[in-house]
Structure 1
Amino acid sequence: MQNHHTGNIEIIEGFARLDVNRADRTGIPEAVLAEGKTHDQVVAAVQRIAEKSGIALATRVSDECAHVIENSLGRILRLNRNRIARTIVASRPDFEMKETGGKIGILAAGTSDVPAAEEAKVTAEVMGCRVFAHYDVGIAGIHRLMEPLKEIVEHEVSAVVVVAGMEGALPSVVRGLVPVPVIGVPTSTGYGYGGKGEAALMTMLQSCAPGLTVVNIDNGFGAGATAALIANHVARANSSEKQHRT
């Protein structure tokens, strides 16, 4: 494939205009959604973003696509695959991830909700955040939530991502117990009437707990990116305040 350069846009002829400096402009890097793309297109996009930005994130990566990426790029880029999250993080050998000081928490109601939670975790880590994650803490055994929630609050996170399927009640519960924004992720766990995440989404949208924001069904990437954006903004503000004091 032929490549052309137009300012901050990397054009991969025939299918993509990569916004390689998106992170500098918006605080959130461009990610490669593997679903709906050919394996060659995913490989080309991941390679180009990693070469230009130092690091690239691919989401919704199937096993077959992951094998193609590993075979094509494994010798020239560092690859970190998360099978549960269905993500691959590719970075240049000389790239060093720098922590921003941002901190977020992630909670998953059940084991079936972990893939979306892990997608959020990987996304936030690519954005430089520390992540404190705890899984299988849903309302069917609400006592399981207390210790993880205490740890998250003690670490002074700036936002909490809460992932839940079925009736999707956990985000509202958490929002009533923490002093920071909560981002709810309804998952497609569930069946029958209101299944596939629909009931969970409606429950979160109808929450009476202010400060709960909701992303679409299974959108771990969007939740992780938003939480990290909040956390990184808080970290910069805290750093600036400390500098003024000194």
Structure 2
Amino acid sequence: MKINEILESVKSGKISTKDAKKLLTLYSIEEVENFAKIDVNRSKRRGVPEVIFAETKELDDIKKIIKKTLEKTNSVLVSRIKKEHYKKLLLFVKTLKVKISTGKNSSTILIFKKPIKFHGGTVGVLTAGTSDIGVAEESRLMCEAMNCKCITSYDVGVAGIQRIFPILKKMIEEDVDCIIVAAGMEGALATLVSTLVDIPIIGIPTSVGYGYGEKGIAALASMLQSCSLGLSVVNIDNGIAAGGIAANIANRVNKKIIS
């Protein structure tokens, strides 16, 4: 039974609230053969879409999860797609007659049936360098899947510190609710941005860097030890988590303004 059928049955007295609760609990999980259980009501319950971590999955399994998820929800994110799977997966998705949003230098895609309406909050997305763009784009796709408008500006790091001021001015004028900052090497941009604005900052240390503190370790340590308040940090290269947190903040702010 669909959710509206269950509710109508309770209203008409055909089933008890106890039975309805059981049916609704069952409805929230969709099993794909014997290898995946999909939380299809997550977006309704938490505002967070289903995300398929594709890096360690077989292509056929990813296809099955996508298909099952789209039967019950409007959108799904597929993150960290293997290079050899990317084009094949895009071709498969096109056969489903749905829309796809991709990100520059990113192996994450957003798949949706109906156009996503940006009725949530607004999130700013910044990168220190061009090498950080792929991770930032993962965050952008996550925010947009959660109905947030995004304002992006890339390659504005501390190596040319004057580049950051015009875009920060724009973000303040646009009244963004949260700013995501992706930075590798020493990760200094997140601290800098946090000192300049009264807006929550989500820092993403990226694995850009080499030598001592390589693979994002220096950027992570730098952001975690920042003396600037108002900065929180996710794991190395975790654009999905940063997008989820930022969109959650932005949507709650927007919800309170509307109410």
The alignment's TM-score, normalised by the length of structure 2, stands at: 0.87
Larger Rg: 2
1:29 is matched with which residue? 49
Alignment CA distance shift 1:48-1:83 (3 Å): farther
Residues 1:46 and 2:63 are matched in the alignment: no
2:85 is the counterpart of 1:69: no
The equivalent of 2:239 in structure 1 is 220
Partners of 1:101 and 1:220 lie apart in 2 by 19
Structure 1 residue identity aligned to 2:118: E
Cα offset for 1:90? 1.6
Does residue 88 (structure 1) correspond to residue 75 (structure 2)? The answer is no
Quote the residue 1:56 is aligned against. 76
Q: How does 1:177-196 map to 2 (within 5 A)?
A: 177-196=196-215
Structure 2 CA distance, aligned partners of 1:209 and 1:62?
37
Whether the aligned pair in 1 keeps the contact of 2:182 and 2:206 (CA below 8 Å) is yes
1:66–1:88 CA contact under 8 A, matched in 2 = no
Q: 1:243: which partner in 2?
A: none
- The alpha-carbon distance between structure 1 residues 209 and 162, as it changes in their structure 2 partners (threshold 3 A), is same
Structure 1, unaligned stretches of length 5 or more?
241-246
Name the amino acid aligned to 1:32. I
Structure 1 distance, partners of 2:169, 2:118, is 23
User: 2 CA distance for matches of 1:206 and 1:124?
Assistant: 26
Question: Hey, what does 1:116 align to over in structure 2?
Answer: 135
Give yes or no for the alignment of 1:208 onto 2:227.
Answer: yes
Tell me by how many angstroms 1:82 deviates.
Answer: 2.9
**Contact 1:187/1:218 (8 A) holds in 2:** yes
Kept in 2: contact 1:84–1:115 (CA 8 A): yes
Higher helix share: 2
- Give 1:160's aligned residue: 179
Deviations 1:84-123 (A, max 9, x none): 121122222xx13121231010110001111111111111
Instruction: Give a deviation string over 1:27-53, Cα, whole Å, max 9, x none.
Output: 211201111000011111112212211
Q: Does the 8 A contact of 1:161 with 1:227 survive in 2?
A: yes
Give the C-alpha shift of residue 83 in structure 1: 5.1
User: 2:239 matched to 1:237?
Assistant: no
Whether the 8 Å CA contact 2:156–2:164 is kept in 1: the answer is yes
Q: Match of 1:153, as an amino acid? A: I
Q: Residue 40 of structure 2 aligns to which amino acid in structure 1?
A: V
1:78 maps onto 2:114 in alignment: no
Give the aligned partner of residue 167 of structure 2.
148
Task: State how many pairs are aligned.
Answer: 234
Change (3 A) 1:106 1:83: closer
* 1:104-161 superposed Cα distances (whole Å, 9 cap, x missing partner): 1011000111111111111101111110010110001100100011111111011000
- Could you tell me how far apart the structure 1 residues matched to 2:177 and 2:91 are? 38
Q: Which is worse superposed, 108-117 or 44-53?
A: 44-53
Q: Which residue of 2 is the match for residue 6 of structure 1?
A: 26
For the pair 1:137 / 2:156, whether they are aligned, the reply is yes
Answer whether contact 2:103 2:134 (CA < 8 A) is retained: no
CA distance in 1 between counterparts of 2:86 and 2:104 reads 9
The equivalent residue for 1:244 is none
Identity of matched residues, %: 44
Match of 1:125 among 144, 154, 159: 144
Q: Is the 8 A contact 2:79 2:108 kept in 1?
A: yes
What secondary structure, in the 3-state scheme, does the structure 1 residue paired with 2:102 have?
Answer: strand
8 Å CA contact 1:84, 1:114 repeated in 2: yes
Distance in structure 1 (CA, Å) of the matches to 2:198 and 2:158: 20
